[in-house]
Structure 1
Amino acid sequence: MAKNDKLKTASVLSFNRHLDPSDGRMFALNWVDLAQGTGNTAIVIQEKSVRGTISNRPKSSKEIDPAYIDAAVNKANLQTVDVAALPQGKDTVAVSFTLRVLPNVGQPSACNDVAFAERLDTVVSNYQSANQFTELANRYAVNLANGRFLWRNRIGAENVTVSVERTINGQAKEKLTFDALNNRLNQAIVHQDQQTELQKLAAWIKAGLNGDEHVLLKVTGFARLGEGQEVYPSQELILDTSNAKGAKSKTLYSFGNKEAGLHSQKIGNALRTIDTWYPNADKPIAVEPYGSVTSEGKAYRQPKEKQDFYSLFDAWVNEGKVPEVEQQHYVMAVLVRGGVFGESDK
């Protein structure tokens, strides 16, 4: 097929993810025992019942009446919530997970159009030959080294260390250690004192994405918070939104025996927070088709500006319009993320 022959995106088109983290297990230990790796204690989620006070914004003139406010304050606002905290005698939280780095980026798990699949294979092969996923590997490595996957558990910590072990045949063969607080969350580079370790970590990820080697990493982040301090597992999305009296208002994610944990999706979001190629970028955001940041209620990659994934991807594959190299990195990062991207044939 000639390069300028325009195609239509396959109606069935999906990709598996190629950075595949497990759920993160959370446990407690003392910072002084970190080097020995001893004294680990599971962090157990517990329920707490509290009496809250009125704090919502008034909705009508009636609700700003002093008598109404006084009456509302006197009503008990009872809540049951899940909480997780370091036990007394332990000052450090750890989050541990494994990460598989998988090859064949850009190869669809499902595609119902042979011509489109062939053109896509050519586009991905050309990108891989020119770039070898080097830029993406470097940025993923940064997000491991800076401990972004710890999320709120990283904020305000006195010390934060990340260890990454390369596992081969079930055995840890090599271990890298990073001082996460030396590595800023709003930059895509690592502190100069850790460049050697970063380059090695990026090389592992690159080898996995290119299919040169099987890559399985065990990642553990340690944050020194203080004895008894609250820690932050993932919060469960409760689909039953009924306001039944006595219903729990916050449910935290746990493993079978109530041990605190982080969702693999939350860890994956942290690892792919590498997009600094969107218009007027001032910070990394997670790689998403529309550059969506739900906590801000904003999409940074608008279709109107032709900077979203679908506009760039369709123009590149269907029309042969090669985007700037930065946007090529972005499109490939979305394919690493995986998803369903078919175009309706209706």
Structure 2
Amino acid sequence: MATVNTTALKTASVLAFERKLDPSDAMFFAGSWGQRRSAAQWAPISVREKSVRGTISNRLKTKDQDPAKLDAAIENPNLQTVDVATLPADADTLKVTFTLRVLGGAGTPSSCNNSAYQAKLLATVQGYVEGLGFSELAGRYAHNLANARFLWRNRVGAEQVEVQVQHLVQGEAAQTWIFDALAVPTREFNASGASAQPLLELSELLAKGLAGKSHVLLQVTAFARLGAAQEVYPSQELILDKGNSGKSKTLYVVGGVAGIHSQKLGNALRTIDTWHPDVAELGPIAVEPYGSVTTLGKACRRPTEKLDFYSLLDGWILKDKVPAPEQQHFVMATLIRGGVFGDAGKD
């Protein structure tokens, strides 16, 4: 392989990558636990509105803590209209289904306006593939399919959770793996027991897909036994311009069926970063350039510590400072995530 001259190598001002794990939206259905492996029809779960009368419970300012003002405030109830989704009274199990495409070409930019930089980038990625390969990343993605992390709040408190993963070839299931999701841990990526061999087979298939050696399309179906008539939790829509709408919460619906955004599924699948400094406290976090955990308002990969994606990538490509193997995994996982990473500010 020809050596690339890096004397004046600079980051491309236009540098973009397409995501290589491409989930569809997930759809919600209801049925009985005993029907999860039968051909029985599962009823789609719809979203309905309900109005509730709440009480004043927010933190009061000092001027509003006067008893008379508080009594006056309580006389005005907190009226809300919200969306809600539940299982019907005769169904105890939530079925969530989506498809996942695994694309090859990981680390190959979809847009790059610097040929020298692209040549060095591709050589670096090839070195990673030959040296470490996709086995580690694929194993972690497979783990997050098996443990049903993508169910989010619907996984919490479930009595039983089963995940069925089918490898589709020309529309037919060429192979099927079944996992007891609650037996697969969410804070570590060590497979054991009955899940070990199916996880290994699924991770090998994902690795082939990422390497571009096989076409990989998966049908993923999860069953969560929650209890009859229990509430379920689709994605919540972010309404930037509510206009005249008085609704406090709007849930995601596709064709009248409750669902989860593909972006939220992708976030769950890439929750594999255990190489950040706060892993003892937080466990795995989603792969993000700065290790962002929005629910905590925290960045786990701070540029001052040179563990953010940009510092690692620039050191690796521009300065030939090869990161530790675990940080190489992080950089590649970020490229698989996709995004726009150009450095337009230097030109």
Scaled by the length of structure 1, what TM-score is found? 0.96
Q: Which of 14, 17, 21 matches 2:16?
A: 14
2:318 and 2:332 map into 1 onto residues whose CA distance is 16
2:5 and 2:314 map into 1 onto residues whose CA distance is 14
Identity across matched positions, percent: 55
- Structure 1 equivalent of residue 148 of structure 2: 147
- Structure 1 equivalent of residue 314 of structure 2: 314
Alpha-carbon shift at residue 2 of structure 1 (Å): 5.3
- Structure 1 equivalent of residue 207 of structure 2: 206
RMSD in angstroms over aligned alpha carbons? Answer: 1.2
- Structure 2 equivalent of residue 249 of structure 1: 248
**Which AA in structure 1 matches 2:134?**
F
- Asked if the contact 2:184–2:195 (Cα under 8 Å) also holds between the matched residues in 1, the reply is no
Alpha-carbon shift at residue 78 of structure 1 (Å): 1.2
Superposition pairs of residues 163-242 of structure 1, within 5 angstroms: 163-240=164-241
Deviation digits for residues 87-134 of structure 1 (CA, Å, limit 9, x no counterpart): 110000111000000001010000000000000000000001112201
Alpha-carbon shift at residue 37 of structure 1 (Å): 3.9
- Structure 2 equivalent of residue 42 of structure 1: 44
Q: Which moved more, 1:21-30 or 1:189-198?
A: 189-198
Superposition pairs of residues 1-346 of structure 1, within 5 angstroms: 5=7, 7-59=9-61, 61-240=62-241, 247-257=246-256, 259-282=257-280, 283-344=283-344, 345-346=346-347
Alpha-carbon shift at residue 3 of structure 1 (Å): 6.3
1:260 aligned counterpart, secondary structure: strand
Scaled by the length of structure 2, what TM-score is found? 0.96
**Which AA in structure 2 matches 1:230?**
E
- Asked if the contact 1:52–1:76 (Cα under 8 Å) also holds between the matched residues in 2, the reply is yes
- Asked if the contact 2:4–2:116 (Cα under 8 Å) also holds between the matched residues in 1, the reply is no
2:231 aligned counterpart, secondary structure: coil
1:122 aligned counterpart, secondary structure: helix
Deviation digits for residues 261-310 of structure 1 (CA, Å, limit 9, x no counterpart): 00000000000000000114120000000000101110000000000000
2:184 and 2:4 map into 1 onto residues whose CA distance is 47
- Asked if the contact 1:6–1:319 (Cα under 8 Å) also holds between the matched residues in 2, the reply is no
Alpha-carbon shift at residue 63 of structure 1 (Å): 1.2
**Which AA in structure 2 matches 1:121?**
L
2:82 and 2:258 map into 1 onto residues whose CA distance is 14
2:182 and 2:4 map into 1 onto residues whose CA distance is 51
1:157 and 1:280 map into 2 onto residues whose CA distance is 28
Alpha-carbon shift at residue 67 of structure 1 (Å): 1.0
- Asked if the contact 1:182–1:191 (Cα under 8 Å) also holds between the matched residues in 2, the reply is no
1:325 and 1:263 map into 2 onto residues whose CA distance is 32
**Which AA in structure 1 matches 2:225?**
R
2:273 and 2:26 map into 1 onto residues whose CA distance is 23
- Asked if the contact 1:146–1:185 (Cα under 8 Å) also holds between the matched residues in 2, the reply is yes
1:166 and 1:335 map into 2 onto residues whose CA distance is 24
Q: Which moved more, 1:293-302 or 1:185-194?
A: 185-194
Q: Which moved more, 1:2-11 or 1:35-44?
A: 2-11
1:38 and 1:148 map into 2 onto residues whose CA distance is 25
- Asked if the contact 1:44–1:260 (Cα under 8 Å) also holds between the matched residues in 2, the reply is yes
Alpha-carbon shift at residue 315 of structure 1 (Å): 0.7
Alpha-carbon shift at residue 336 of structure 1 (Å): 0.4
2:275 aligned counterpart, secondary structure: coil
Deviation digits for residues 21-51 of structure 1 (CA, Å, limit 9, x no counterpart): 0000111110011121414010000001111
2:67 and 2:187 map into 1 onto residues whose CA distance is 46
Deviation digits for residues 234-255 of structure 1 (CA, Å, limit 9, x no counterpart): 000001156x5x6111000001
Deviation digits for residues 155-179 of structure 1 (CA, Å, limit 9, x no counterpart): 0000000000000011111110000
- Asked if the contact 1:279–1:301 (Cα under 8 Å) also holds between the matched residues in 2, the reply is yes
2:63 and 2:292 map into 1 onto residues whose CA distance is 38
Task: Give the direction of change, closer, same or farther, for the CA distance of 1:190–1:237 in structure 2 (3 Å limit).
Answer: same
**Which AA in structure 2 matches 1:317?**
I
Runs of 5+ unmatched residues, structure 2: none
- Asked if the contact 1:30–1:39 (Cα under 8 Å) also holds between the matched residues in 2, the reply is no
Deviation digits for residues 172-218 of structure 1 (CA, Å, limit 9, x no counterpart): 11110000000121111233221110001101100100111100000
Task: Give the direction of change, closer, same or farther, for the CA distance of 1:3–1:320 in structure 2 (3 Å limit).
Answer: farther
